[in-house]
Amino acid sequence: MFARTIICCCTIGLLATGCGGEDDSASTPTEPTSVPLAPLTVLVTNDDGIGAPGLDALVSVLKEMEAVEVVVVAPAENQSGTSDTTTVGAVVHRPGVTASGVAGTAVEGYPADAVKVALDELALVPDLVVSGVNEGQNVANFAQVSGTVGAARTALRRGIPAVASSAGLGPLANFNAGATLVAEWITAHRNELAKGTAQTATVTSFNVPGCTLGTAKAVIEAPLAPVVPANVNVFVTANCDLMPSTAPTNDVEALMGGYLVMTPVPAEL
């Protein structure tokens, strides 16, 4: 994505030196030159609060990435279910730390407020906004009320690419899986992010099943379902190893089928 190149070089060497002359520098291979990665600034927020374990897991994974600067600006307290609500007037912010002690900014407001504080008060210019990893999956109509997705939607309206990531509840919450999905997405889209050409039409929303048995299947892309059916508990997938009888047609079906799910979510819901 060189046998031909190698053959040509050898032919040139035969003509010039018989491939056995004293000066064989022309055929000496050179070490490939590695191209340094363009630096990225990633703003991390959530709706569970700056001290939440899901955000901490996300920050830990992102900080391991090469040439990625991670900046944390998140609500001081849990603000789940607040969608893209914003505070009228000034919003107080102060120094804060994640669960493992990474310094950031704690915002006395909603998740969407945290994004606005980062951009307008702290004058940050992130290449990407990542929200999560949320405790509790945000699929179907849950995405509309989610503060995690709401923060990402707020970023889109400011022209910034955004990713949201959500996992299960309590012991079924695989935060590391949710964080890894984000890191893999950043790696796949790094060039566009660095060039400022990554799409800002939709939030890329990841959801990790809460597997009681087995392990989550590969990532599939699925659209938002209109609503979560009344008899479905999206927070629990009984056995992630079982294959569904039919291919999933939306994010709820995919999640209940034990898949890691990627869903495009528009800024306006």
* β-strands 259-266, 202-207 pairing: antiparallel
Q: Quote the pLDDT of residue 3.
A: 35
- Using DSSP's 3-state secondary structure scheme, residue 4 falls into helix
* 58 and 175 Cβ atoms separated by less than 8 Å: yes
What sign has the CA pseudo-torsion 77, 83, 84, 87? negative
Taking Cα atoms as reference points, which of 97, 93, 181 lies closest to residue 131? 181
- Using DSSP's 3-state secondary structure scheme, residue 148 falls into helix
pTM of the predicted protein model: 0.86
- Using DSSP's 3-state secondary structure scheme, residue 45 falls into strand
CA angle (34, 36, 42) in 5-degree steps: 145
* CA 235 – CA 108 distance, rounded (Å): 28
Annotation: CATH topology of 40-266: Stationary-phase Survival Protein Sure Homolog; Chain: A, (3.40.1210)
- What pLDDT digit, counting tens, does each position of 13-64 carry? 333 333 344 444 445 556 556 778 889 999 999 999 999 999 999 999 999 9
CB atoms within 10 A of CB 156: 21
DSSP class of 244:
P
DSSP class of 195:
H
* 74 and 49 Cβ atoms separated by less than 8 Å: yes
Q: Quote the pLDDT of residue 31.
A: 57
Q: What residues does each domain of the chain span?
A: 40-266
Query: Mean of the per-residue pLDDT values for the chain?
Result: 90
Q: Quote the pLDDT of residue 103.
A: 98
- What pLDDT digit, counting tens, does each position of 120-151 carry? 999 999 999 999 999 999 999 999 999 999 99
